[in-house]
Chains A and B, each alone.
Chain A
Amino acid sequence: EAGVAQSPRYKIIEKRQSVAFWCNPISGHATLYWYQQILGQGPKLLIQFQNNGVVDDSQLPKDRFSAERLKGVDSTLKIQPAKLEDSAVYLCASTRSGGVPYFGPGTRLTVL
C-alpha cells in the first residue's frame, strides 16, 4: 500500500511570509496527525484529526497556525506569518484509528 505523502519536501521562506504544507494519508486511515520536530528534539503534536473533525489542537499556535482536513482525507497545514522559531521539520502521520502511526517523509522548513 502507498505510504503517507507530503509536499513540498523542503521550503525556505523569509520571516513574516506564509507557507502551506500538504499531506495525503494512507487510504482508509481515519486519524491524521501533524507534528513539529525541531532539530535535536522529539516530535511535538500540533493537531490530531479524526476523519474531518479536530480531536486535539491544544498545542497548535492558533494565532499563526491553521490546519484543515476537508472531506476527511488529505490535509493542509498553514503558517501565517512565519517566525524564525518555526524552522523545523513538519511531519504528517496517519493511523486507522489509534495504534501505530505511519509517518510521511516530512517537510523541512527554514525561516530566514
Chain B
Amino acid sequence: KQEVTQIPAALSVPEGENLVLNCSFTDSAIYNLQWFRQDPGKGLTSLLLIQSSQREQTSGRLNASLDKSSGRSTLYIAASQPGDSATYLCAVEDSNYQLIWGAGTKLIIKP
C-alpha cells in the first residue's frame, strides 16, 4: 500500500532564505508526483507536476525534483517571501490514477 510522508510537519524561516521541503513515498510505481499549496480557508492549488519519466520541474522560484528509485521528491523554494507562507502538500498518482497524499508541511516565512 502506497504511503506518502512529509517531513518536517512545520517549518519557520526568515524571509529571503532558500528552503527545501521533503516528500517520500513507499512504492516507486507511480504515474506522477504533484505538489500543491493550501492557504487557510481555501482549497488546494497545483504548483508543479512531475511525470514519472521526468527528474524535475521548475516554475518561477519553485523547483521540484523526483527520484523514483529512492522514493523521494523535494520542493525547493528560492528567496522565500512572506506570501509563500502556506501548507505544502505532495501527492503521488498511483497506477489506478488515484492521488495518495502526504499530510503536508506548514511553512511560515517571517518578515
B98 with A45: CB separation less than 8 A: yes
A interface: dominant SS: loop
User: Given A100-B34, A105-B41, A42 and B102 touching (CB < 8 A)?
Assistant: yes
A4 within 8 A of B: yes
Q: Give Cα A102–Cα B42 distance, bound, in whole angstroms.
A: 12
Identify A41's interface contact among B42, B44, B98, B103, CB under 8 A.
B103
Residues of B within 8 A of A48 (CB): 98
Q: Which residue of B lies closest to A41 (CB)?
A: B103
B44 with A100: CB separation less than 8 A: no
Q: Chain A nearest CB: distance from B101 CB in Å?
A: 3
A56 within 8 A of B: yes
B98 with A101: CB separation less than 8 A: no
* Residue count of chain A within 8 Å CB distance of chain B: 19
A98 with B102: CB separation less than 8 A: no
Quick one: CB contact mask for B81-111 with A, threshold 8 Å, 1 for yes?
0000000010100001111011110000000
The interface of chain B, by Cβ under 8 A from chain A, is: 4, 34, 41-46, 49, 89, 91, 96-99, 101-104
Would you list 14 pairs from A and B whose C-beta atoms are within 8 A, ordered by A residue?
A40-B103, A41-B103, A42-B91, A42-B101, A42-B102, A42-B103, A91-B44, A93-B44, A98-B97, A101-B46, A103-B45, A104-B43, A105-B41, A105-B42
